[in-house]
Amino acid sequence: MDTNENEDAYKSEPKVAIVTGASRGIGHNTALSLARRGVDVIITYHMNRAEADLTVDAVVALGRKAVAFRLDTGDVSAFDCFVEQIGKALTQTWQRSSFDYLVNNAGTALIAPFAATSEADLDQLFNIHFKGVFFLTQKLLPFLADGGRIVNISSGLTRFTFPGLSAYASVKGAVEILTRYLAKELGPRGITVNTVAPGPTKTDIGGGANSDNPDQDNFIGSVTALGRMGVPDDIGPMIASLLSDENRWVTGQRIEVSGGTFI
Q: What is the pLDDT of residues 127-145, one digit of tens each?
A: 999 999 999 999 999 999 9
What is the distance between the alpha carbons of residues 185 and 177, in angstroms, rounded to a whole number? Answer: 13
Q: Does residue 36 surpass a pLDDT of 80?
A: yes
User: Residue length, the chain?
Assistant: 263
List, for residues 80-101, the tens digit of each pLDDT value. Answer: 999 999 999 999 999 999 999 9
Confidence of residue 213 (pLDDT cuts 50, 70, 90): confident
Active-site residue, from 10, 45, 101, 168: 168
Give the residue ranges of DSSP H helices in the chain.
3-12, 25-36, 49-61, 79-94, 119-126, 132-140, 166-186, 205-208, 214-222, 232-243
What is the distance between the alpha carbons of residues 183 and 188, in angstroms, rounded to a whole number? Answer: 9
Structural domains in the chain plus CATH codes: 13-257 (3.40.50.720)
pTM score: 0.93
More confident residue, 231 or 212: 231
Active site residue 168: yes
List, for residues 143-189, the tens digit of each pLDDT value. Answer: 999 999 999 999 999 999 999 999 999 999 999 999 999 999 999 99
Contact 261, 200 (CB under 8 A): yes
Helix 49-61 to helix 25-36 angle, to the nearest 10 degrees?
Answer: 20
Contact 164, 207 (CB under 8 A): no
Q: In the prediction, which pLDDT does 204 show?
A: 78
169 contacts: CB under 8 Å, gap ≥ 6: 155, 157, 158, 161
- Mean pLDDT score of the chain: 94
More confident residue, 109 or 12: 109
In 3D, which of 258, 238, 249, 261 has the Cα closest to residue 30?
238
Q: In the prediction, which pLDDT does 211 show?
A: 60
**Residue 33: helix, strand or coil by DSSP?**
helix
Three-state SS string over 110-179 comes to: CCCCHHHCCHHHHHHHHHHHHHHHHHHHHHHHHHEEEEEEEEEECCHHHCCCCCCCHHHHHHHHHHHHHH
**Residue 88: helix, strand or coil by DSSP?**
helix
**Residue 92: helix, strand or coil by DSSP?**
helix
List, for residues 38-79, the tens digit of each pLDDT value. Answer: 999 999 999 999 999 999 999 999 999 999 999 999 999 999
